[in-house]
Amino acid sequence: MISDYRPISLVTSLYKIIAKVLLGRLRKVLQDTIFLTQGAFVEGRQILDAVLIANELVDEKRRSREEGVAFKIDFEKAYDHVD
């Protein structure tokens, strides 16, 4: 039966085309805007990169017996969130 098939939709194709055009334009601008310390939501970077770097620094200080200070800042309340 014809009702068993989904109709062809051009909206998704149009959306994909617009999204790719916007992505190409935004990539040029965002490379200069996003800081090197931004770890999440950036192509080629992962959210745990900052944690791993901090862990490596602590391990290196322990091995070399150098003194140092480390601190953690919790930015949870700096951003809106939905419960």
Give per-residue pLDDT as tens, 15-30.
889 999 999 898 888 8
> C-alpha distances in angstroms, 4 versus 1, 7, 17, 62?
6, 10, 28, 66
The pTM (predicted TM-score) of the whole model is: 0.46
Give per-residue pLDDT as tens, 36-59.
877 777 888 888 888 888 899 999
45, with CB counted inside 10 A (0-12, 13-18, 19+), is middle
Work out the angle at residue 35's Cα, subtended by the Cα atoms of residues 30 and 38, and round it to the nearest 5 degrees.
Answer: 100
